[in-house]
Structure 1
Amino acid sequence: MDKKPTTLVILNGKGAGNEALREAIFTLRKEGYPIEVRVTWEHGDGERYVAEAVKHQVETVIAGGGDGTINEIATALAGHEAHQRPVLGIIPLGTANDFATSAGIPQEMENALRLAMVGKATAIDLANVNHTHYFINMATGGFGTRITTETPARLKSALGGVSYFIHGLMRMDTLKADSCELRGPDFSWQGDALVIGIGNGRQAGGGQRLCPFALINDGKLDLSIVTAKEIVPTLLNSMIGGDDDNPNIIRASLPWLEITTPHEMTFNLDGEPLSGTSFRIEVIPKALSCRLPPSCELLA
């Protein structure tokens, strides 16, 4: 019998005690799949574990956690040469799991693990910000970013993704637009933006479909700018899958985008905040291989 390739599962420490995942790993090990497990505890662990996987020629590295964990592992993988780089697998263990939800990753642990280990590997894009940071799902700025970074951890634990929306309603008194200028190939816009979404994936903030047409293998990023004062109806429509042709939302699809602001603005890159007054965001086509469902809506 041919020896099965080794898989390295990297778990965010918060999800390390998931009993369903533990049972799924035991089940697949009994079937002959070599699976190693590592748990992150502090900043830099993910990068170190990915380097270990590359050194030992592991075929698949699985990110077990939320969007931040997936981004951390994807960023670490992107730092290695293509011929050395393991395939990325995903197990959703976070609060919102926006990228995994958009991609159609199973919520049931054994199904997610099997897909992550033996599913078809597909080349996907990654996004680079200011040549120093990456995101695999979405960069968000404006009111939405302030809400996701301020939402209490206890509220997220209790209510999951909807906690961002509830906290947003509680903080409507802080609602204000950010003055900014955006430009890209054949695109230019200047004005006051309530929310900006730059999507490789389609949703962020616990289910807000800011970029409902984004694809992760088309070599482009989808831009959505919410300019309306009526942000509550806009967010409600996005939560329940409402009209995607909202006249208060400006959309574009671009390989790169530059953003300048007169005052410091913060973008949330899959959970990692990045502040500044100037941002250059560009797509890196086919940067990684990722195991995704055959019916994944994010694939062109």
Structure 2
Amino acid sequence: MDKNSLTLLILNGKGAGNEDLRAAINTLRDEGFNIAVRVTWEKGDGQRYLDEAITLEAETVVAGGGDGTINEIATALAAIEASARPVLGILPLGTANDFATSVGIPAEMEPALRLAIQGKASMIDLARVNQDRYFINMATGGFGTRITTETPEKLKSALGGVSYFIHGLMRMDTLKADSCEISGPDFHWQGDALVIGIGNGRQAGGGQRLCPSALINDGQLDISIVTAQELLPTLMHSLTGDDDNPGIVRKKLQSLHILSPHEMTFNLDGEPLSGREFHIDVLPGALSCRLPPQCPLLA
């Protein structure tokens, strides 16, 4: 890319004090890269800054934050006409950084920023829920969703992604399955699910690889339904290996429908959505995203 092309970095307010990031931005600016920084403070800031990026004809918009920040920017990008849509770059500054970790983005600020600005752009899929909500990484339901939303901020700050798993062990007494019916092309399942993972990406909840074979550019979603009554061994298995697990039902689908007799909550890249009925489909090649050359999630 041309160094003079504008990159707009939309930074989650929680990461604004990151000194390594400040140093990386200054280094790249000294090399001639045109980088503008905007910091979010409240809901809707991401959309406003993206509107500014369009006005300024920015070539790249970098989402600096965790999975929720990436979700907000990706959702806003999807609504922009393809011809005017900037490329998405990702800077991992959250607690778990599940999407950034699984696609192979460096944790160190300077190489991550260089990749976000200079990396090769690849077309990737986006998942849509009930026509108006989206996720770039994963939708999770059941026990896993409750753990992700309930894990205390102090535990997240101290332990990072593993905090979700530890908090899960602490809350085993609250274990409760969700009764639901899941259907799609040539697929039907009905029963009690402890955890449901619908993956464009592979992992959620701080490193749990719920959808270990998911690809972000295959035009399909990977669904994993944890049906085992022994949740702890199943979770341990998902953390330590990707081979077949008899307690998990897996399927690749372009779309699926979930119906429940009671209200369920799905976590869309960390953003909760509650209801009794969910229609989820994939939008193939919806976004252009700068990813590492050997990204394991590209077909």
Structure 2 counterpart of 1:276 = 275
1:244 Cα deviation after fit: 2.5
Structure 2 counterpart of 1:4 = 4
Structure 1 counterpart of 2:47 = 47
Asked if residue 267 in structure 1 is aligned to residue 286 in structure 2, the reply is: no
1:243 Cα deviation after fit: 4.4
1:238 Cα deviation after fit: 2.0
1:56 Cα deviation after fit: 1.1
SS at match of 1:83: helix
Superposed counterparts of 1:64-103, under 5 Å: 64-103=64-103
CA contact (8 A) 2:120 2:291 kept: yes
Structure 1 counterpart of 2:154 = 154
Structure 2 counterpart of 1:247 = 246
**Any gaps of 5 or more consecutive residues in structure 1?**
none
Structure 2 counterpart of 1:108 = 108
Q: Deviations for 1:92-136, whole angstroms, at most 9, x for unmatched residues? A: 000000000000000111000000001000000000000110000
Structure 2 counterpart of 1:38 = 38
* TM-score (norm: length of structure 1): 0.98
CA contact (8 A) 2:6 2:35 kept: yes
Q: Distance in 2 between matches of 1:151 and 1:244?
A: 28
Asked if residue 174 in structure 1 is aligned to residue 174 in structure 2, the reply is: yes
Structure 2 counterpart of 1:62 = 62
1:138 Cα deviation after fit: 0.1
> How many aligned positions are there?
298
CA contact (8 A) 2:212 2:242 kept: no
1:239 Cα deviation after fit: 2.1
SS at match of 2:39: strand
Structure 2 counterpart of 1:142 = 142
- The CA RMSD measured in Å over matched residues stands at 0.8
Structure 2 counterpart of 1:16 = 16
Structure 2 counterpart of 1:122 = 122
1:54 Cα deviation after fit: 0.9
1:90 Cα deviation after fit: 0.3
SS at match of 2:26: helix
1:231 Cα deviation after fit: 1.1
Structure 2 counterpart of 1:186 = 186
SS at match of 2:77: helix
Q: Distance in 2 between matches of 1:175 and 1:126?
A: 31
1:278 Cα deviation after fit: 0.2
Q: Distance in 1 between matches of 2:189 and 2:239?
A: 26
SS at match of 1:268: strand
CA contact (8 A) 2:183 2:258 kept: yes
* TM-score (norm: length of structure 2): 0.98
Q: Deviations for 1:42-74, whole angstroms, at most 9, x for unmatched residues? A: 000001111110111100000000000000000
Q: Distance in 2 between matches of 1:78 and 1:45?
A: 16
1:233 Cα deviation after fit: 1.2
Q: Distance in 2 between matches of 1:141 and 1:256?
A: 16
SS at match of 1:197: strand
CA contact (8 A) 2:64 2:90 kept: yes
Structure 2 counterpart of 1:213 = 213
CA contact (8 A) 2:180 2:191 kept: yes
Q: Distance in 2 between matches of 1:119 and 1:3?
A: 13
Q: Distance in 1 between matches of 2:3 and 2:151?
A: 46
Q: Deviations for 1:247-272, whole angstroms, at most 9, x for unmatched residues? A: 11000000101000000000000010
Q: Aligned letter for 2:285?
A: K
1:12 Cα deviation after fit: 0.5
Asked if residue 258 in structure 1 is aligned to residue 257 in structure 2, the reply is: yes
Q: Distance in 2 between matches of 1:24 and 1:3?
A: 15
Asked if residue 295 in structure 1 is aligned to residue 294 in structure 2, the reply is: yes
CA contact (8 A) 2:24 2:109 kept: yes
Structure 1 counterpart of 2:201 = 201
Moved over 6 A (4+): none
Q: Distance in 2 between matches of 1:249 and 1:274?
A: 23
